[in-house]
Structure 1
C-alpha cells in the first residue's frame, strides 16, 4: 500500500464529519446590543455585530461615494452618460438592497445606501433613455421633411 492511500484512509473520517466544514456557532454571536440600555451609545455601537469596528458599518459609508457621484452626474448632459455603467449601478443597487435584508445580521445601513444607489441609477437610465428617444424622434422628423 502506498503512503498516500494510508493518508486518505486515516483522514477520510475527518472529511466526512459535518463539523469539519461548518464553523462552530455559539448562541451569543448575534445577540442584540439592547440588552444593556444603560451603556453609552458609543460603547453599544462599538460592541455591536454591525458596529463601528466591522465591515457592516464601513462598507456602506464608503459606498455613499457612489451615490454622491451619481447625484453629481445629474448636472451632466445625458449624451455624456454611460448607459451600461448606470444600468449596472441600478442592478447592483436593487439586487443588494434585497440581499442586505436577507443576510444575518440584517444590515439596514447597507440596504439604505443600495436603495439610493438603485434610485440614482433608475433616474440616470431614464434620462439616457429619454435622450436617445428624442434623438430617434428628431431623426424621424428629419427624414419626413426631406
Structure 2
C-alpha cells in the first residue's frame, strides 16, 4: 500500500468526526426552533420586523381578500348618502333609505359574529346605517311639515267658505 493511501485512511476518522460535529452543530442551530411552533418565523419578533404592507398582505382581512375590498367599495354608498344631504327632502326615496338603514344595522351586527371579525366592514356599515337614519329623519320631518301645511290650508279653505256663505 502506498504511503498516501495509509495517510488518508488514518486521517479519515478524524475528518469524519470533525465533519459530523460541524454538521450536527449546524443542524442543531437550524432545527433548534423545531419545538417552538410549526411556523417559527411567524413569532412576535418576526411580526415586528415585517413591514406594514407585508403584514397587510398576509392578514386574513388583508389586501388580497374580499374582507378588505368589499368595505372599501361600500364607502361609495356612504359618500352617495352624504351627497344626498344636499338634495331636497321631497326628492329622497323612503324605501331606498329604509333599505340602506336596515342593511347598515344588520351587517354591522354580522361583522362582529363572523370569523375573522371585520372591523373595517363594521365601520362602513355603521356609517351607512347612520346616513340612512339621518335621511329617514329628513323625510319624516318633511312629511310632517307637509301634513301640517295641508291641515293649515284645509282650515283656511274652511274659513274662506264660511266667510263666503255669510
**Quick check: TM above 0.5?**
yes
**Runs of 4+ residues deviating >3 angstroms:** 31-35
Structure 1: distance between partners of 2:108 and 2:92: 24
Q: Which residue of 1 aligns with 2:21?
A: none
Greater radius of gyration (CA): 2
**Where in structure 2 are there 5+ consecutive unaligned residues?**
1-38, 158-166
Matches within 5 A, 1:86-97: 86-97=97-108
> What is the distance in 2 between the residues matched to 1:69 and 1:53?
26
Q: Counterparts of 1:47 and 1:77 in 2: how far apart (Å)?
A: 46
Q: Which has the higher helix share?
A: 2
In the other structure, the counterpart of 1:84 is: 95
| TM-score, length basis structure 2 | 0.67
Paired residues of 1:33 and 1:47 also in contact (CA < 8 A): no
1:129 lines up with 2:131 in the alignment: no
Alignment RMSD (CA, Å): 2.0
Give aligned pairs, total.
Answer: 117
1:1-146 alignment to 2 at 5 Å? 36-146=47-157
